[in-house]
């Protein structure tokens, strides 16, 4: 299901008209002006449920996503690079929606995922410290000769009885009611995507492969494909991951060409680099295949 069918950025002529009156000012950057036009990025047509903006650093793919997100007023969790001219640029853009956007539509950036992983790590570190305290509390309660003298002592009585009745691990687990599941960075990153992507929504993903192992990238590619095919989601993704580029029924805009064009994933430079590398080591790879 597609929500956004077309997005149009300002033409070079329109950019030039706007900049003509301010180029003599003290500003040293006019970002995002003159970023997209150098790669011929003007009109994006979203014919598939998954559209990819492919290109290396400086190709403009992240800028293109941020402008779409700003124009559509999508949710986001972290701030992004913008200047005094960002709002002016966005006001010159046009877009065509085929249906209203669900409120949970959003842009997900690498910074969002990184902040989420830091929050998980911080919470788990706090829980680790609390767990150490509970271990000590367990042993003290287990050997305690505590006696109940008033209702004010009731909570302590419950803890003492629990220490005598339960093993150390069960006692600790029962006290950590708000325990956070501990994950590796890759698991936390993948969890962020699965928690944020809901049914029937438009999602802009900026280099989602960051912090994900090749296996997790394959799992994310499958998750995106199924969300688009079965759960009414539309995706616009900035990436150079071969695992995401190879997703089925995906339209890929190649921003590395002198003028932006649509390319099959098998002809993209980044993919060919991987292919050439594995071809070079073909004999070693075949020799080491487990029997």
pLDDT in tens, 104-134: 999 998 888 877 666 665 545 444 555 566 6
- Between 288 and 85, residue with greater pLDDT: 85
| Torsions phi, psi for 53 (to 5 deg) | -105, 110
Determine the average pLDDT of the residues in 226-235: 95
Domains, the chain, ranges and CATH? 4-112+185-281 (3.40.50), 114-175 (no CATH)
pLDDT at 178: 46
Alpha-carbon span 192 to 117, nearest angstrom: 9
Least confident of 58-62, 159-163, 190-194: 159-163
- Dig out the tokens for 199 from the structure: 């049914």
Record the pTM. Answer: 0.77
- What is the residue-averaged pLDDT of the chain? 83
Alpha-carbon span 276 to 85, nearest angstrom: 42
pLDDT in tens, 69-98: 999 999 998 777 777 889 999 999 999 999
Alpha-carbon span 215 to 231, nearest angstrom: 23
- Dig out the tokens for 227 from the structure: 């969300």
* Residue partners of 62: CB distance under 8 A and separation at least 6: 109, 206, 207, 238
pLDDT at 161: 73
pLDDT at 210: 86
pLDDT at 122: 52
């Amino acid at each position: 299901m597609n929500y956004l069918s077309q997005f149009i950025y300002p033409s070079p002529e329109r950019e030039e008209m706007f900049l003509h009156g301010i180029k003599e000012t003290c500003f040293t950057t006019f970002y995002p002006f003159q970023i997209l036009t150098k790669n011929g990025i003007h009109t994006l047509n979203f014919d598939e449920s998954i559209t990819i903006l492919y290109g290396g650093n400086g190709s403009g793919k992240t800028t293109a996503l941020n402008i779409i997100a700003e124009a559509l007023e999508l949710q986001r969790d972290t701030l992004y690079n913008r200047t005094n001219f960002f709002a002016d640029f966005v006001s010159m853009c046009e877009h065509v929606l085929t249906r209203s956007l669900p409120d949970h539509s959003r842009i997900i950036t690498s910074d969002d995922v990184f902040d989420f992983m830091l929050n998980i790590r911080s919470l788990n570190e706090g829980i680790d410290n609390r767990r150490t305290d509970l271990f000590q509390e367990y042993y003290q309660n287990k050997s305690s000769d505590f006696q109940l003298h008033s209702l004010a002592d009731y909570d302590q009585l419950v803890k003492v009885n629990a220490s005598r009745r339960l093993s150390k691990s069960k006692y600790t687990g029962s006290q950590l009611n708000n325990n956070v599941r501990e994950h590796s960075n890759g698991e936390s990153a993948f969890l962020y995507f699965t928690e944020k992507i809901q049914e029937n929504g438009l999602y802009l993903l900026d280099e989602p492969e960051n912090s994900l192992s090749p296996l997790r990238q394959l799992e994310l590619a499958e998750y995106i494909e199924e969300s688009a095919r079965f759960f009414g989601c539309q995706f616009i993704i900035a990436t150079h991951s071969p695992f995401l580029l190879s997703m089925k029924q995906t339209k890929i805009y190649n921003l590395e060409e002198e003028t932006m064009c649509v390319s099959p994933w098998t002809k993209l430079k980044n993919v060919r680099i991987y292919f050439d590398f594995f071809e070079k080591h073909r004999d070693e790879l075949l020799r080491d295949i487990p029997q």
